[in-house]
Structure formats: structure tokens, C-alpha cells
Amino acid sequence: MKNYFRYAKFAAVPLILLLPLGAQDSKKNKKDTGITSEQAQQILDELREIKDLLKAQAEKNGPPQPTRAKLDLTGFQMLGSKDAPVTMVEFTDYQCPYCQRFHMTVFNELKKNFIDTGKVRFYSRDLPLDSLHPNAIRAAQAARCAADQGQYWRMRDLMGLNPDKLDMDNLAKAAGSLSMDTNAFRTCVESQKYKEAVQSDILEAMKIGAEATPTFVIGKSTPQGVDGELVVGLQPYSEFVKAISKPEAAK
């Protein structure tokens, strides 16, 4: 798992954000970004090495990563009708900026047009990239602790909107704003009650080929969960509509 995160954390970083750094003044870089142009170049060099390594591994191992996945969703948090013909699963990282953008824009439209109308049931799973986002695992556990008090989705909304406020004190304030027992909530999070459950989600994500956050599985609902298409990364609303509307998704 350690090697996976070494690669996954860089896979989640868009190269376009790093490329201009080498052309800027070293002191300005350090002031604006916290790193010098020399350090930025080292990051770029490592990214290229990782890309070459992954390409070599793919050629050695044969077929590319799977484009479909089957998941057992028994016991996981669900939004919408249990009888919806299509299931959508998000593997999320609460500190991921792209997950925040999905949550603030695309998700609202999907909820209004598909989830609330009974066409799609939505599940949330965890894929915290802890090497890149140090508060992500805590947040994933916090959501599950909120579920103990019936506030999973409202806590998920608050954390999704505020990825910069995932330290313990701010999480406790969020729990208080939802009229939760903050002492029980804090004890649950700090005891890492759900650490193994979150790790199980990470392993499941690795197994199906999730390489970045957010990653989705969209397809037909099954008695146990979903049999669907893997969609990696933030996509425009229209792309999710296409995936949901595919004939095979609702068979």
C-alpha cells in the first residue's frame, strides 16, 4: 500500500499546475508556493519517472486497468431510493479540491435530477490520499462517526464544502452545529474506531483500479450493489448523464 500511495498522490496532482514553476524566479516560487523552481523541477522529474515506470509496468503486465467494476455495497451509506435501477458510487477524499468541486457543482444537479427522482441511488466510499492530504483519513472516520448519530450526509456536506476545516476542533464544531453529542463524536474520531473500515475502502479502490479522487462506479443496480463503469476524475455534468443513461446501466 505504501508504494501505491507514493504513485497515487502524484497521479492526483495535475501536471499543468507544476509546469510553469520552472520558468519563474526561484525566490518568487518559494514565496508564492513554498517551493523553489529547483524543487519544482525535481517534482517534475519524479513525475516523469513515475509515468515511465507505470507505462513499463502496464506493458509488462499485459491488459490495461479494468474499465468496469462490481461492488458489494451492503452496509454502506446510501442516498436515494433502494429500488433505483442505476447505482452511482463515489470514492472520495474530503481534502481533495476536485472532490470539493464535484460536491459544490455537479453533485447538486445529479441529486436534483436523478437521485431525488428515484432514478439513481448514490453511495459514498472513502479513498483518502493521506500522503497528500493529512486530514483526509480523519475526515473519512468523522463521517462514519457522524453516521452513528444519524448525521452522515449532513456531516459529509459540511466537510465537502470546507476541505480546509478538517482538523479535530473544526470537526467537533461542525458536529455541534448538527446538534450531535460532540463528546461522543470526538471520542469516536480520536479513538480511530473506523480506521480499519476506511482502510478496507482504500483496498477496494485499489482493487478496481481507482487512481485518483474522485473516482466513480456507475451502472446497473444489483441486489448486493452495483455492476458498472469506472469513471476516474472530475467530469462535467453531461458526462455523468451519459454514463447514467447508457442502456446497459439500467438493464
- CB–CB of 112/188 below 8 Å? no
Looking at the structure, tell me whether residues 171 and 106 fall in a common domain.
yes
Does residue 158 have a pLDDT over 90?
A: yes
- Among the candidates 61, 84, 111, a domain finishes at 61
Q: Both 53 and 73 in a single domain?
A: no
Helix (H, G, I), strand (E, B) or coil at 230: strand
Task: Output the pLDDT for position 72.
Answer: 95
Q: What angle do CA 99, 105, 106 make, to 5 degrees?
A: 80
| Of 33 and 184, the one with more pLDDT | 184
Q: Report the domain count for the chain.
A: 2
Can you give the CATH number for the domain in which 222 is found?
Answer: 3.40.30.10
Residue 145 sits in the same domain as residue 41:
no
Among 15, 33, 61, the domain-final residue is 61
Tell me the residue range of the domain where 241 lies.
68-250
Domain match, 114 and 219 both: yes
Which is higher by pLDDT, 157 or 16?
Answer: 157
Which pTM does this prediction carry?
Answer: 0.73
Share of the chain above pLDDT 70, in %: 72
Do 24 and 131 lie in one domain? The reply is no
pLDDT tens digits along 162-179: 999 999 999 999 999 999
Do residues 57 and 83 both lie within one domain?
A: no
Note whether 243 and 121 are same-domain residues: yes
Biggest alpha carbon–alpha carbon distance for the chain: 58
Its sign, for the CA torsion 233, 236, 239, 244, is positive
Q: Is the dihedral of CA 56, 127, 219, 117 positive or negative?
A: negative
Beta-strand ranges (E) seen in 81-141 are 86-92, 120-126
One domain, residues 34 and 136? no
Does the pLDDT of residue 106 top 90, yes or no? Answer: yes
Same domain, residue pair 148 and 183 = yes
Does one domain contain both 78 and 40? no
Residues 105 and 25 reside in one and the same domain: no
**Domain limit, last residue, from 61, 80, 107:** 61
Given a contact cutoff of 8 angstroms between Cβ atoms, the answer to whether 244 and 114 are in contact is yes
Claim to verify: residue 50 and residue 82 sit in the same structural domain? no
Pair 225, 72: CB distance under 8 Å: yes
